[in-house]
Chains A and B, each alone.
Chain A
Amino acid sequence: MKAKKITLLFLFICIVFSVNAQNKIPAVNVKTIDGATFNTANMVNDGKPIIIDFWATWCKPCVQELSAITDLYEDWQKVTGVKIYAVSIDDARNSARVKPFVNTRGWEYEILLDPNADLKRAMNVGDIPHTFLINGKGEIVFQHAGYAPGDENELYEKLLGCINPDVK
């Protein structure tokens, strides 16, 4: 038992020492809504920021969040050039529902399917919704778990902050 505690302590020391300024998106294969295999290393946006939002059709706050952002997305894109990847973790029960679900709501996001939670696991996401903001250099600069109406304002502030560091 003691040995295990020591192990854990060591592990935490390791983390402290290896925490690094750069904080990249891990390379994992997921699927696009068109069935193509997509490696997340290819999540690029010409030096402009990216938002990754983990969601599922059965997750109410996730749908709330994406619905709230959808009204603002056009403005956000004009100002910041941001691109949003909405990663659905719906499993085989619901993954066929994702495309009709997205289309009916008129969402314009890049939709990715992660039915066995490989990307979710690689990005250490616990419960959803979980949102990441990635700056133009591909570094994760902000993340947020859960959603309360109004959280999109905080996200937008951070988004502005990462294209123009003065606004922080």
Chain B
Amino acid sequence: MKKVLAVTLFFLTFPFLAKAQETNKFGAGEIHGNFQMMAQNYLVDSTIGAKEVSEKIRMNSFANLNYTNGNFKAGMRYESYEKALLGFDPRYNGSDITYRYATYTNDDLEFTIGNFYEQFGSGLIFRSYEERGLGIDNAMDGIRVKYKPTAGVYLKSIIGKQRFYFAKGEGIVRGLDAEFNLNEILSGFLPEFNSEKAHYTYILGGSMVGKYQADNDPIRILPENVAAFAGRFNFISDKFNFYTEYAYKINDPSLTNGFIYKKGEALFVSANYSVKGFSLSASAKRVDNMDFRSDRNADVNNLTMSFLPAISKQHTYALPAFYPYATQPLGEIGEQFELSYNFKKGSKLGGKYGTLVTINFSNANNLDTTQTGNEQGYTAAFFRKGETLLYRDLNIEVVKKISPKLKTTYTYMYQVFNKDRVQNVSGYGTVFANIAVFEMQYKINSKNTFRAELQSMRTKQDFGDWAVALAEYTVSPHWFFAALDQYNYGNAIAEKRAHYYSGSFGYTKNATRFIVGYGKQREGYLCVGGVCRLIPASYGLSLSISSTF
């Protein structure tokens, strides 16, 4: 209760303080925010496996408020799960202020107290972030200092605990990150290093993260302080970009790695070359025992510190995204290549309006490991892949504008998905799928547009064949109407050959959106970045409202 009072006072006082300061250089403060609400009513449907929900209607909502006054910023978020939507962890239950902070910036120094999100490098050893749609929020609660001692040097340090639903995790997280932009540092002395003149940039960075968690285990001797280190290098020129980051973690026995005392490491390398109309890129990643969390007993997506997204392409059409890959933090080797070419307008293949072709390939295998039979768990060859294929995907996308009104997209994909290993289940084996997608968009006039998608997935495994049809009609700038049917016509079990149909419409005015939907949602994984969440099958009416003010 005291907390609530404090926050109230805080927000009550600031507008007045702001008024009082109107004469000084800060001027009056501003409050902005956003609001989002998603509600769903649940009906029963035995064919698709939509179960009875005793509350009938469930709702997730939240509102952010941010106050700014010159160098001072403060804000909060109020979250409410009056029973969390199906698929969200039921530990999101009830309503509370889950995020509040105050930040003060003075020249090259910035202090934040309260909650904050932060990422060191690409996040191999530390990323605290939110994906509200996935129910992921490992915000820090503590103190952060950012400091720029001189041009080109950026220091960050953090200390605190991570969010765990409506509480905090047990472990104390401490971290430090330094980034050196060599061009900015050197251009002070040597003008030729000015990146505008030099046309290239070198950036070096390093970070260290430690966590403390008491060892109360009566049997095992556990490390109470576990540290991880990472170094990164980035070279950027007009056409070429090279990035690499390596991370190392000392012994960190945990629930997810089965209490082994092996060190962890991760290597990420990415390079690309691009000019107008053409690009080529490649990346590779090796992850070995790198699941790093602020609580050694945490599971699922809770209290993660390391962020290890998959390097495969993130698909957005329904069927290519049907079997989404997620990095196996305990061990994988993967690589990815992409070639993209824009056939110019007027050329043979480009036609009158140009044609964009993108070819992408990605692959991930397990590590080549040898069990040691002791507390180290296993040893792994550094460069050799293991025999088990986890994921492979070859896809080609062609975007072709046929006339100013008609635009078409053709996608073909071949996918291999080791369902047992990626989703940690058994008895499903590996899925081999051929997927084709056709999309067309026809602009009737400057306001009205019709868009359609036809998708097909052929596979002998798991649920069998699927077909998807989508039709969408938009009236700019306010309305959209959409109808979708996903048909599992190839399911081996005849009764499960269900249609998952749904319809929706929405209204948008400036930064406010209302969307109403009705229909059936199939069970499946929803993924953003490298993290996935299983959404159970559901059937019913949904309403979502979002607004930024």
Q: What residues of chain A have their CB less than 8 Å away from a CB belonging to chain B? A: 3-4, 6-8, 10-11, 14-15, 17-20, 22-24, 26-27, 29, 33-37, 57-60, 91-97, 99-101, 103-106, 115-118, 121-127, 130, 142-146, 148-151, 153-154
B371 at the interface (CB under 8 A from A): no
Nearest neighbor of A142 in chain B, beta-carbon distance: B510
Complex Cα gap A8–B538 (Å): 32
Nearest neighbor of B441 in chain A, beta-carbon distance: A149
Complex Cα gap A26–B307 (Å): 27
- Contact between A150 and B119, CB atoms less than 8 A apart: no
Q: Is the interface of B mostly helix, strand, loop or mixed?
A: strand
B 205-230 binary contact with A (CB < 8 Å = 1; else 0): 00000000000000000000000000
Q: What residues of chain B have their CB less than 8 Å away from a CB belonging to chain A? A: 1, 4-5, 7-8, 11-12, 14-15, 18, 27-34, 36, 64-68, 73, 78, 95-96, 105, 117-119, 122-123, 127, 129-130, 146, 154, 179, 181, 184, 195, 201, 203, 234, 236, 241, 243, 270, 272-281, 283, 307, 309-311, 314, 316, 338, 340-342, 356, 358, 441, 443, 446-449, 474-477, 479-480, 506, 508, 510-513, 529-530, 546, 548-549
Complex Cα gap A92–B283 (Å): 12
Which interface residue of A24, A91, A142 has the most chain B CB atoms within 10 A?
A91
Residues of A within 8 A of B30 (CB): 18-20, 22-24
Complex Cα gap A152–B8 (Å): 41
Distance of A161 from chain B, by nearest CB (Å): 14
- Contact between A14 and B314, CB atoms less than 8 A apart: no
- Contact between B18 and A117, CB atoms less than 8 A apart: no
Which residue from A3, A15, A104 sits with its C-beta under 8 Å from B277? Answer: A104
- Contact between B234 and A35, CB atoms less than 8 A apart: yes
- Contact between B181 and A14, CB atoms less than 8 A apart: no
Complex Cα gap A37–B512 (Å): 31
Distance of B429 from chain A, by nearest CB (Å): 27
- Contact between A35 and B203, CB atoms less than 8 A apart: yes
- Contact between A103 and B275, CB atoms less than 8 A apart: yes
Which interface residue of A26, A97, A122, A144 has the most chain B CB atoms within 10 A?
A97
- Contact between A116 and B241, CB atoms less than 8 A apart: no
Which residue from A59, A104, A142 sits with its C-beta under 8 Å from B356? Answer: A104
Distance of B281 from chain A, by nearest CB (Å): 5
Which residue from B34, B316, B474 sits with its C-beta under 8 Å from A148? Answer: B474
Nearest neighbor of B99 in chain A, beta-carbon distance: A121
Distance of A111 from chain B, by nearest CB (Å): 12
Which residue from A23, A36, A130 sits with its C-beta under 8 Å from B181? Answer: A36
- Contact between A143 and B281, CB atoms less than 8 A apart: no
Knowing A104-B342, A118-B117 touch, does A153 contact B476 (C-beta < 8 A)? Answer: yes
15 A-B pairs (CB sep. < 8 Å): A19-B31, A20-B28, A20-B29, A92-B123, A97-B338, A100-B338, A104-B279, A106-B276, A116-B119, A144-B510, A146-B506, A148-B477, A150-B447, A150-B449, A150-B474
Residues of A within 8 A of B548 (CB): 123-126, 130, 143, 145
- Contact between A101 and B279, CB atoms less than 8 A apart: yes
- Contact between A124 and B549, CB atoms less than 8 A apart: yes
Knowing A35-B203, A96-B241 touch, does A126 contact B181 (C-beta < 8 A)? Answer: no
The 5 A-B pairs of least Cβ separation, nearest first, read A150-B476, A100-B279, A93-B309, A148-B474, A103-B274
Residues of A within 8 A of B314 (CB): 57-58, 93-94
Residues of A within 8 A of B65 (CB): 11, 15
Complex Cα gap A58–B441 (Å): 18
- Contact between B283 and A126, CB atoms less than 8 A apart: no
Which interface residue of B15, B32, B474, B513 has the most chain A CB atoms within 10 A?
B32
Residues of B within 8 A of A151 (CB): 476-477
Distance of A149 from chain B, by nearest CB (Å): 4
- Contact between B11 and A14, CB atoms less than 8 A apart: yes
Nearest neighbor of A9 in chain B, beta-carbon distance: B8
Complex Cα gap A7–B65 (Å): 13
Distance of B277 from chain A, by nearest CB (Å): 6
Which residue from A14, A17, A19, A146 sits with its C-beta under 8 Å from B508? Answer: A146
Complex Cα gap A125–B12 (Å): 24
Which residue from B8, B18, B342 sits with its C-beta under 8 Å from A105? Answer: B342
Residues of A within 8 A of B506 (CB): 146
Residues of A within 8 A of B274 (CB): 99-100, 103-104
Knowing A18-B31, A20-B30 touch, does A115 contact B119 (C-beta < 8 A)? Answer: yes
Which interface residue of B127, B179, B243, B474 has the most chain A CB atoms within 10 A?
B474
Residues of B within 8 A of A34 (CB): 195, 201, 236
Complex Cα gap A123–B32 (Å): 8
Complex Cα gap A26–B449 (Å): 35
Knowing A11-B65, A18-B30 touch, does A116 contact B117 (C-beta < 8 A)? Answer: yes
Complex Cα gap A122–B296 (Å): 32
Distance of A20 from chain B, by nearest CB (Å): 5
Distance of A94 from chain B, by nearest CB (Å): 6
Nearest neighbor of B120 in chain A, beta-carbon distance: A116
Distance of A86 from chain B, by nearest CB (Å): 16
Knowing A93-B529, A124-B32, A151-B476 touch, does A144 contact B277 (C-beta < 8 A)? Answer: no
Residues of A within 8 A of B311 (CB): 93
- Contact between A145 and B117, CB atoms less than 8 A apart: no
Residues of A within 8 A of B95 (CB): 4
Nearest neighbor of A57 in chain B, beta-carbon distance: B314
Residues of B within 8 A of A3 (CB): 1, 4-5
Residues of B within 8 A of A4 (CB): 4, 95-96
Complex Cα gap A24–B31 (Å): 11
Residues of B within 8 A of A27 (CB): 105
- Contact between B181 and A37, CB atoms less than 8 A apart: yes
Complex Cα gap A149–B27 (Å): 39
Residues of B within 8 A of A11 (CB): 8, 11, 65
Knowing A20-B30, A116-B119 touch, does A35 contact B201 (C-beta < 8 A)? Answer: yes
- Contact between A18 and B18, CB atoms less than 8 A apart: yes
